[in-house]
Amino acid sequence: MRRSASLPPRASLLFCLLAGLLLFSASCQPQFEGRPTALPTRVPSQTPTATITPTLPPAPTVTSSPTPTLTHTPTPLPSTTPTETPTPIPPRAAVLFPLKAGGANTVNWSYFYLSRKELRDDGSLLSLSAAVAFQLLDRGIHSETVRVRDQDVTVYYLRVSHIYNQVPIETKLVLTGYFGRDVPVSALPADGAAFVNLRSQNSDAVFEPWTIQSDWLLPFEQRQTLFQQMTLTDFEQMLADLPERVILLAHHPVIWRPDDWAQADLDMSRLSAQAARLDAFFDHDAFDLLTGQSRMAEAWSAYLLQNQVIPADVAQAGLSYSAEYLIIVIP
């Protein structure tokens, strides 16, 4: 009889114990529900859900416009230039005092002496020069710019007055000039245009204008000791220092010989002093060609020779005289 294969009793018991342990172990495992996988899957961590927070559009940024910073910058002092503003000259009229020319003729604000009167054969006037007395209205040198022969000329003059046939009229007494616009006296170079010729004396000395004119006609080397040559700067200082009582005279041609017109015109184009002094006595046409002597020169001639009244339009346009040399007399 065949013996059936069976486990020994001890082995069967061990098998039963292992099987029981397995079943017990299975019953103790946690139950995972809703998971199709055999092994448990890690529960995902809770991720914060993005919250949609309404964001307002950025407000426009107010950018301040650049504000200029006020910086105190010292204003430079004006320098001396041809365009500087002249200091006003206060009025200071000269006072008349007793004076006789040659011990006979009274010298006052209407006095003049004809140093040259030349006539043609027909009796018409050929040339005329005179020394004229003037009253100073202040003690400074004035200036203005005029056009002479298509050039700017700064003209330097004194404010004076003369009694023309019992009528006092303010007059510009032209001293000299310089090529350029509004050139101040302080900027003048030391050449001929910056000087005036002067004869001065006290009233207790014999006053003879004809003798002074004869001295002026001497050769330059001889008359140097008889006349002072002063710069405008020195002359202006002298004016300020003059006493209240003073008489000023100026000598100059009024009517030129026609043969001398061409030379006078050439002098005006080359010499600034002559341009300033002669311009008012001559007329030029639109082409800048000299045509003859001016109406003002004719008015001066009629006054000096015939004591005629200065025409109103000439006086209103501005009467002037010039000085090739000056005479100053004080008590």
Q: State the Cα–Cα distance between residues 192 and 272, nearest whole angstrom.
A: 9
On the question of pLDDT at 180 being above 90, the answer is: yes
Cα 260 from chain centre: 38
Residue with more model confidence, 45 or 261: 261
Contacts of 206 (CB under 8 A, 6+ apart): 102, 103
Report the pLDDT value the prediction gives residue 190, as an integer from 0 to 100.
Answer: 83
Q: Is the confidence at residue 82, as pLDDT, over 60?
A: no
159 vs 40 pLDDT, higher one: 159
Please, are residues 307 and 144 in contact by the beta-carbon 8 Å criterion? no
* Average pLDDT of the residues of the chain: 83
> In this predicted structure, which of 35-44, 154-163, 181-190, 221-230 has the lowest mean pLDDT?
35-44
Q: How confident is the model at residue 2 (pLDDT cuts 50, 70, 90)?
A: very low
Q: Which two three-digit tokens encode residue 120? A: 């043609």
Those residues with Cβ within 8 angstroms of residue 18's Cβ, 6 or more apart along the chain or in another chain: none
List, as one string, the DSSP characters of 242-272: S-SB-EEEEEEEEE--GGGHHHHHHHHHH-H
pLDDT at residue 230 greater than cutoff 80: yes
Q: Give the tens place of pLDDT for each residue, 94-133.
A: 999 999 999 899 999 999 999 999 999 999 999 999 999 9
Strand, helix or coil for residue 168: strand
* Mean pLDDT calculated for residue range 18-47: 45
pLDDT tens figures, 243-261: 999 999 999 999 999 999 9
* Per-residue confidence (pLDDT) for residue 46, from 0 to 100: 46
Across 146-170, average pLDDT: 96
Summarised one tens digit per residue, pLDDT across range 26-36 is 444 544 433 44
Region 54-80: mean pLDDT is 43
- pLDDT tens, 266-320? 999 999 999 999 999 999 998 889 999 999 999 999 999 999 999 999 999 999 9
Half-sphere exposure of 71 (CA within 13 A, CB side): 4
Task: Please give the DSSP secondary-structure letter assigned to residue 138.
Answer: B
List CB contacts of 156: < 8 A, sequence separation 6 or more. Answer: 141, 142, 143, 174, 175, 176, 177, 178, 185, 232, 276
- Give the pLDDT band of residue 226 (cuts 50, 70, 90): very high
